Chains A and B, each alone.
Chain A
């Protein structure tokens, strides 16, 4: 199988690269370029959440908050302290990873159901802190005028520049996630998703690898936040609330959990639909819900997933988190 599929994959990769790299030349439309850039940011967010949900089988409803932390840290460093993007962006990622690690250490021993509530509450706490700490975050006013990055004395301000910059970032992040997935680390994550007791019996440090997945996922979400902040140049707390977390979660669930391509497909579909269905206005939320229900019923693992949030194990109850897990330690 290896030889042929390798050739097919190489060919698909080249075609994809040509399309992605050639996109700005063909399109050149400011509006479409910005949408394409936002799709790329959501590809990163959905792929990073997939580390937690799809690979390791944990739940997180606070991903929007980590995205927000990254955005705010980089924005504050750049506007208040005048740091260059190339310094504030990695620092924003590291800070977000640190917050993620602490949250992970505190909550990842919880059962699934409580982890859902824990991360949900954390997301709300972050939003409320941002709203009520005006000295640092300017509270409800948001942070305007976040500068564009400067590369070799040349400001990256046009939508084409941003598209290429974020395309490179997205490609790197997806590449890193894919390599982790196909390694000893990724196997340990999937083993935990499949059966924590068996994973521990094979020598996998279950808690350690859960915290690791959570931390890396938050690192990547934080970096995405930093890119977003400098791209749109204005951020406010309401951009990173619960609905953002749910949007990212829906992308992963729709596209498919536990695969590399799944979250990418989910991000593209859920970014294109609202643009295409603008005439539905506030009823677009209904559309999201309907899509999610359809996926759960028809294809529980998502369009291109391995094993979904909603995939029942063999002979197991359909919603295992409603039941106590026996013997888990």
Chain B
């Protein structure tokens, strides 16, 4: 298991957003987290990436506990993410957004930046090649000079994924990547995520689009009111009584 989470809990005042959740993500798998609105899915992501640290529980990444680390340290460990409410650097070019994603790969600092020494030029060239390759992959190479804010919604989602991938992660957390996408775009996204898996990346994703989840996920975890109510393959989840109940309400006796 590349990521093992045990009894993770997060409270906001009296509300328990995430309650004693266990989760194990297998390396190279696509693992989906589903659940009704307000089930605590995004909070769970924020706990993993330490943007909103959990109150209790442990998060073990590649055999090492990371729940006490800062968001930037967690990024450096190889966990990258996108956000449900897109958080691009709006007044930055598309290319610079992705280049910022490479921040951890390089070490050029003040002196290197001022003198443009050999290391700076090499890192900058490498970073640009990597960023352009990623933009090529998500089909945004032509808009590299555009401000991120000027992209249409669907392309902003793609750019966010490219930016996350630029850090060279081993685990990618996608928070509702298909939100606001049309059918064609979603189909393209499915292909894209499959290709990432083929490249050996582990993906943990939150999604409401059940067609996407069922066709992609190797394993599905269902949260409801912060509690894990089911876990299994797509087949198992579709037939789980409690899942149906959570989504559709209790069946009349």
Where the two chains meet, the residues of A that have a C-beta atom closer than 8 Å to any C-beta of B are 1, 176, 179-180, 183-188, 190-191, 193-195, 197-206, 212, 216, 258, 306-307, 311, 313-314, 327, 329
Contact = CB atoms under 8 A, between A and B. Distances in A.
A198 B103 contact: no
Nearest to B75: A203
Contacts of A184: 99, 103, 106, 108-109, 113, 123-124, 127
Given A200-B51, A212-B110, A194 B91 contact: yes
Contacts of A200: 51, 70-72, 75
Nearest to B123: A184
A33 B178 CA distance: 62
Among A200, A206, A216, the most chain B Cβ lie within 10 Å of the Cβ of A200
Contacts of A306: 91
B18 to A, nearest CB: 15
Contact of A204 (B90, B100, B106, B120): B100
Top 9 A-B residue pairs of the complex, sorted by shortest distance between their CB atoms: A183-B113, A203-B104, A194-B89, A203-B75, A200-B71, A198-B87, A307-B91, A191-B100, A203-B103
Nearest to B148: A194
Contact of B89 (A186, A195, A212): A195
B103 A204 contact: yes
Interface string B110-148: 101110100010011001000000000000000001000
B11 interface: no
Nearest to A306: B91
Contacts of B127: 184
B91 A201 contact: no
Interface of B: 46, 49-53, 70-72, 75-76, 80-81, 83, 87-92, 96, 99-101, 103-104, 106, 108-110, 112-114, 116, 120, 123-124, 127, 145, 149, 163, 167
Nearest to B71: A200
Contacts of B46: 327
A203 B49 CA distance: 11
B148 to A, nearest CB: 9
B167 A202 contact: yes
B100 A188 contact: yes
B92 A180 contact: no
Contacts of A201: 49, 51, 71-72, 75, 80-81
Main secondary structure of the interface of A (DSSP, over half): helix
B49 A258 contact: no
Contacts of A216: 110
A187 B145 contact: no
Contact of B96 (A190, A203, A307): A190
B103 A187 contact: yes
B71 A329 contact: yes
Given A198-B87, A204-B72, A327-B51, A180 B110 contact: yes
A300 to B, nearest CB: 12
A4 to B, nearest CB: 14
Contact of A191 (B53, B92, B113): B92
A191 B109 CA distance: 16
A185 B92 contact: no
Given A194-B91, A203-B103, 9 more contacts: A180-B113, A180-B114, A184-B103, A186-B113, A193-B91, A194-B88, A201-B75, A202-B103, A203-B75
B68 to A, nearest CB: 13
A186 B108 CA distance: 11
B91 A206 contact: no
A184 B87 CA distance: 19
Contacts of B104: 202-203
